[in-house]
């Protein structure tokens, strides 16, 4: 349940205010150069501190606990640990009477009988996306320099300029959502598996593990529903599979066709809005006014691009390993 | 790769013009009443013949080859076979020089070295959705009468009235797409698994196995990206988890919250449009005019609702079996 | 549960007296020559009719229902069906009062609440080993001509000469057991995966799916427990990994070392002995005399060699596909 | 590959002389009391120090890094880390020219291209059985107090008295093997899954992950191959499934029958014998004399019982969770 992938197998663990968060990855080929420093640029991109993100200073140092020797992967599972040092749990203890709207508080208590670590969202915390970013760094190495995975903010608060969208949120003193687009270039033709493990199925599976994502579309996506067939079909131009348009977003029949893989995701507004809300007080049984304490990102979408790249890279690295079995087509 | 699910495990097989298509399902509890007749209503809904679908008369009789005894499931795997009788392969042999735009022809040849069964899309054919519908019938039985899974056409060719949308397509002599919405009522709180197997991840995974789906959104979906936090958050009203609004679409933190599960999918226009297209002739190496022969659905979205229900039921039945372990919370 | 393998994925189904038994296999590379005739020699070896096996004439024709086109595998899942024609269920209906000792009758009723197909062992019947033999034929093709998998009877009824062992059983009018050894030559160095998917773990897993197997040992096996270290260790002789002795049976650290893979299994005497037994009558609640009706193999071990080869080939084919990924060691 | 189990899912990682060894376990029910102290008794049983085991003082403190809150499991994955402090890697660097007979050195270099962590066996080290013992402690809690898992030494160096066997080894200045038996009492009827996931298949799979195991047998095991049918069959005595004898070792048709589960394993002599050996020098290409430096267990079988209990408990806990789904037999 906390794992993803067939050959590049990612297991995440940890809680926001527990001892640590971390990730265990099996199936990594031996011989990939890897050091702690390799993780820092993408972890930095995810970090808090930008306008509209929380000023809480997180300790994000990734410690490699297994699977690396002489700065190269060994073929054994890699475990990366992020210790949690900067946590103030007392902030959270008193919040239990209000299961925060938009958060997992209510469902987690129901599912785990009250034994869940409820501090700061516990296992449901956005802090676990550290694990995804770390796994993504390794996945990108498997994809190699010929394949680029690049996600960008397309919209914040409905505005194409993220800066303006954020200003709108600050002015409204409310959280806002956004749209992030990911483009992968350089993929070979043939990734993806019928029937259930299409590229779309697998990418979507990975993407919806990121908190706050509520929709995904490939290529023309929802707009395709209003197009005509001749308009939507991408004419093939040559033997490399290059198409005149890319309404399919690089995937046909669930399999990459050699054109850029393109998808977009919808990110909901941060659940922890500074605005006062009206919701159930579990203890009193009454609907009451409630405010989230502490400082939170106004727009979680700002942190999504590097995480989106990471999960896309994870899914694609798994397909690459699967495809590189030398006998997709039998030779003996 | 051709399988889905952890405890309710579905394996599909078959080709459009091969001996058969079929589905093997493991993990079905013993004692569920099941006969051939139980499959017919949903298979009928999927069938060709309505306006805008192909008049090709398909033989859709499901033969139960294992796992049922005295009209009840036995606990052993069930295999259901649909024999292919009404196939005219010669129609397809000559088409190979044009890999059909929007279809898997080009990528399949690339991936399988030309050994793929290319007749009528082969293993990539929409005919394999028969298997999904059959699996869905059993999945719905596992969900039981208290849970309803209902999908409806919301839009055809951009028009809310499917009939009008279809008329538009016929008038334009081109294929069209559509939007289908699925609503599931009666689900318990607590289905879905962190971190990777959220309800959204699992439903999306299943849904993108249906040919022609290019996007999915839950609850407010893409519209959520333009909402403010206070506007989007669903206030909890009482201890049952009922919320004032349902922008989350019944899923918070990846887990069902007791409200209706709501999601929508975008269906692209049928790739086999009657309109002439401009695409690569593999033999000549030139871009040429090309027309799809035979009769095809003008709007594949018309057949999607029953298939969408089926895959949603499959995903949810798997969660139900997982949750019904008596010790999600330990008792000893 | 009814599936085995990671990349060469075998799903078995069927009941002894139901409509059919069969096997669905996913992950087979495209382009392997395959026809119905390819299955017949191994199916013939498994067949009833030899001295000491039941004279019941079984219909063992394998029908390929998917995944093969123009006499080659397509890369899509292959389903092979054996129809059950020669069954007389009435023989079994009245037996229900005596859960047959050594058979699954008692545990199956308990586990499946009486809904199991109890006729002739149902899903637990030895007839399902047809599926294994069929899967083994394909697995052997993946291994290729350079790898030979050969199982032989080493002992029947405690006698090294199978013929004499069988005569002893006939004379005693009781069923007998045996020992079967399997030797695989030509394997590359490096098959097998730490930590849990060692060659021994995976072969043993597959082997214990064969009914009547009660033990397995690799190389020196149980005798190793009485050897000294210097005596047991196999000295490496050259860079090819060839060892002076083969007490390890070709596996060190769970990984093939380039020497022949050798293992032996213990087969219990056929549970359906012609001798009268003393056991519980479920209806009366009394321990009573009981005799198995019908004709059964006196020594099931006679049929085991071809089945043992099949499951070994399945396990090894899976490892071969896993290993043939070009980047076990990373190159980019 | 480094994972085991379907619902109780164990992932091991680490190297003998790397930063740590550890285990990540998913699928643990919430609400199980668990503290560091709970692990100590079984870890103590595994520890070095007894006569015939190495005097190297290992740091075996298990640190719980996730999944426990307020001394109870939370339902989220548990990660347990053992830091490696007491390692002297320089002992091992110069050994590379002799791939140690009986060890994974040769195959690991071949498989991982020389990138493996070769110090002290690296990922293949017996130190990783710490992870199994830790997982076993949690598994035993899931089994509960009504089920006892107990393994004992039956034979060392061919002698039924372990003390005498060990004296023989010390006298001979060579390592020796042994036989360990495991008995599980209190299991319900019905654990185990046809076709491939029989109790024997699953236990054997787990057991062969323990280094040095070369054989396993259930109930009468290899002796069954020399028994007659009437002699071997266990007569059922009453409706609880109690049998007069237990030659089946508590498993029929791959499923527990309510009698004690009994199996025995063969443990080879420790590969690192103090005796001089004759084997290949990789650098010189010559067969030369070679001695393992350092102090090692003379009889690794002495440490096996607690590890054997652990893997048996892991396999059985997984079956228990699978069975406790309330609708093995359907109710709605």
Instruction: Give the pLDDT band (50/70/90) at residue D108.
Output: very high
Output DSSP code: residue D29. P
Tell me the chain B residues in contact with residue D324 when contact means C-beta distances shorter than 8 Å: 325-327
pLDDT exceeds 60 at position C171: yes
Residue B126 CA, chain-centre distance (Å), reads: 10
Q: Token digits for A171?
A: 């002015």
pLDDT of residue D85: 83
pLDDT exceeds 50 at position C120: yes
Q: Tell me: the pLDDT tens digits for D123-182?
A: 999 999 999 999 999 999 999 999 999 999 999 999 999 999 999 999 999 999 999 999
Shortest Cα–Cα distance, A192 to chain C (Å): 13
Q: Tell me: the pLDDT tens digits for B215-226?
A: 999 999 999 999
Residue A325 sits at the chain C interface (C-beta within 8 Å): yes
Instruction: Give the pLDDT band (50/70/90) at residue A203.
Output: very high
Task: List chains touching A (3+ CB pairs under 8 A).
Answer: B, C, D
Contact C30 B115 (CB under 8 A): yes
pLDDT exceeds 50 at position D42: yes
Cα C19–C209–D229 angle (5° rounding)?
90
- CB nearest B225 (choices: A115, A253, A266): A266
Mean pLDDT within A136-153: 97
Chain D, nearest residue to B195 by Cα: D76
Can you tell me the distance from the alpha carbon of A276 to that of B55, in angstroms, rounded to the nearest whole number?
58
Contacts of A45 (CB under 8 A, 6+ apart): A305, A306
Residue C193 sits at the chain D interface (C-beta within 8 Å): yes
**CATH classification (class only), D3-323:** alpha beta
C-alpha distances (whole Å) from D213 to each of B155, B160, B286, C254, D177 are: 63, 67, 64, 10, 10
Closest CA to B197 of A233, C150, D240, A11: A11
For A246-255, A283-292, D10-19, which range has the lowest pLDDT when averaged over its residues? A283-292
pLDDT exceeds 60 at position A159: yes
Strand partners, B80: B23, B64
Q: Which of B5, B134, B215 to mutate to test the interface with A (most CBs of A within 10 A)?
A: B215
Contacts of A46 (CB under 8 A, 6+ apart): A60, A129, A130, A133, A303, A306, A307
- CB nearest B31 (choices: D75, D142, D330): D330
Mean pLDDT within A164-172: 93
Tell me the chain B residues in contact with residue C19 when contact means C-beta distances shorter than 8 Å: 63-66
Residue C33 sits at the chain B interface (C-beta within 8 Å): no
Q: By percentage, how much of chain A surpasses pLDDT 90?
A: 84
- CB nearest D30 (choices: A2, A27, A115): A115
Residue A227 sits at the chain D interface (C-beta within 8 Å): no
The position carrying tokens 């997984």 is D318
Beta strands per DSSP E along A219-316? 251-252, 255-256, 261-267, 277-281, 286-290
Residue A145 sits at the chain B interface (C-beta within 8 Å): no
pLDDT exceeds 80 at position C191: yes
3-state secondary structure of B17: coil
Q: Tell me: the pLDDT tens digits for D255-286?
A: 999 999 999 999 999 999 999 998 899 889 99
Q: Diameter of chain C by CA atoms?
A: 72
pLDDT exceeds 70 at position A236: yes
pLDDT of residue C132: 98
Mean pLDDT within A242-270: 97
Strand partners, B10: B4, B25
Task: List chains touching B (3+ CB pairs under 8 A).
Answer: A, C, D
Contact B210, B129 (CB under 8 A): yes
Sign of the Cα torsion D158, D159, D161, D163 reads negative
Mean pLDDT within C148-157: 97
Shortest Cα–Cα distance, A256 to chain B (Å): 7
Q: Which of D6, D9, D28, D29 to mutate to test the interface with B (most CBs of B within 10 A)?
A: D29
Chain C, nearest residue to B123 by Cα: C76
Q: Token digits for A124?
A: 């449901």
Angle between the D199-207 and D304-323 helix axes, to the nearest 10 degrees? 140
Cα A146–A150–A151 angle (5° rounding)?
165
Count of CB atoms situated within 10 Å of the CB of C74: 29
Residue C196 sits at the chain A interface (C-beta within 8 Å): no
Which residues, given as ranges, of chain B have pLDDT below 50? 326-327
* pTM given for the model: 0.96
Can you tell me the distance from the alpha carbon of D108 to that of B271, in angstroms, rounded to the nearest whole number?
50
Closest CA to B308 of B208, B223, B230: B208
Instruction: Give the pLDDT band (50/70/90) at residue C326.
Output: very low
pLDDT of residue B294: 75
Q: Token digits for A267?
A: 């990110």
Contact A210, A129 (CB under 8 A): yes
pLDDT of residue D97: 85
Q: Tell me: the pLDDT tens digits for C300-318?
A: 999 999 999 999 999 999 9
pLDDT exceeds 90 at position D227: yes
Mean pLDDT within D206-221: 98
Instruction: Give the pLDDT band (50/70/90) at residue A70.
Output: very high
For chain C, domain boundaries: 3-323
pLDDT of residue D326: 40
Phi, psi of A18 (to 5 degrees): -85, -160
Can you tell me the distance from the alpha carbon of D313 to that of D25, in angstroms, rounded to the nearest whole number?
14
pLDDT exceeds 60 at position C58: no
Residue C21 sits at the chain B interface (C-beta within 8 Å): yes
Beta strands per DSSP E along chain A? 3-4, 9-14, 20-26, 63-66, 68-69, 72-73, 78-83, 148-156, 178-185, 213-218, 251-252, 255-256, 261-267, 277-281, 286-290
Phi, psi of B122 (to 5 degrees): 55, -125
As for the ipTM of the complex, it is 0.96
Q: Token digits for D134?
A: 């830790």
Contact C84, C16 (CB under 8 A): yes
Contact A281, A288 (CB under 8 A): yes
Kindly report the average pLDDT of chain D as a whole number: 92
C-alpha distances (whole Å) from C233 to each of A110, A169, A196, D102, D174 are: 56, 71, 47, 5, 11
Mean pLDDT within A184-190: 96
């Amino acid at each position: 349940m906390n794992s993803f992938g067939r050959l590049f197998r990612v297991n995440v663990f940890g809680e926001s205010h527990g001892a640590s968060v971390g990730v265990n990855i099996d199936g990594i080929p031996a011989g990939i150069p890897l050091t702690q420093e390799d993780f820092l640029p993408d972890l930095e991109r995810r970090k808090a501190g930008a306008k509209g993100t929380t000023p809480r200073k997180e300790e994000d140092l990734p410690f490699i606990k297994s699977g690396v020797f002489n700065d190269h992967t060994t073929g054994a599972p890699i475990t990366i640990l992020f210790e949690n040092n900067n946590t103030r749990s007392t902030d959270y203890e008193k919040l239990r009477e209000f299961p925060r709207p938009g958060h997992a508080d209510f469902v987690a208590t129901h599912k785990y009988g009250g034994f869940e670590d409820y501090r700061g969202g516990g296992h449901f915390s956005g802090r676990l996306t550290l694990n995804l970013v770390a796994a993504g760094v390794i996945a990108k190495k498997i994809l190699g320099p010929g394949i680029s995975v690049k996600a960008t903010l397309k919209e914040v608060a409905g505005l194409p300029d993220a800066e303006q969208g954020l200003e709108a949120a600050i002015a409204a003193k409310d959280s806002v959502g956004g749209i992030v687009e990911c483009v992968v270039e350089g993929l070979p033709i043939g990734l993806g598996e019928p029937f259930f493990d299409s590229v779309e199925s697998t990418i979507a599976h990975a993407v919806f593990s990121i908190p706050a994502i509520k929709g995904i579309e490939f290529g023309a996506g929802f707009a395709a529903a209003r197009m005509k067939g001749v308009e939507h079909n991408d004419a093939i131009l040559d033997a490399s599979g290059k198409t005149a348009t890319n309404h399919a977003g690089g995937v046909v029949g669930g399999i990459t066709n050699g054109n850029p893989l393109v998808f977009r995701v919808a990110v909901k507004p941060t659940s922890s809005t500074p605005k006062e809300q009206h919701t159930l007080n579990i203890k009193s049984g009454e609907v009451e006014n409630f405010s989230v304490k502490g400082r939170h990102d106004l727009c979680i979408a700002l942190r999504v691009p590097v995480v989106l790249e990471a999960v896309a890279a994870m899914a694609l690295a798994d397909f690459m390993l699967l495809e590189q079995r030398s006998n997709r087509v039998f030779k003996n």
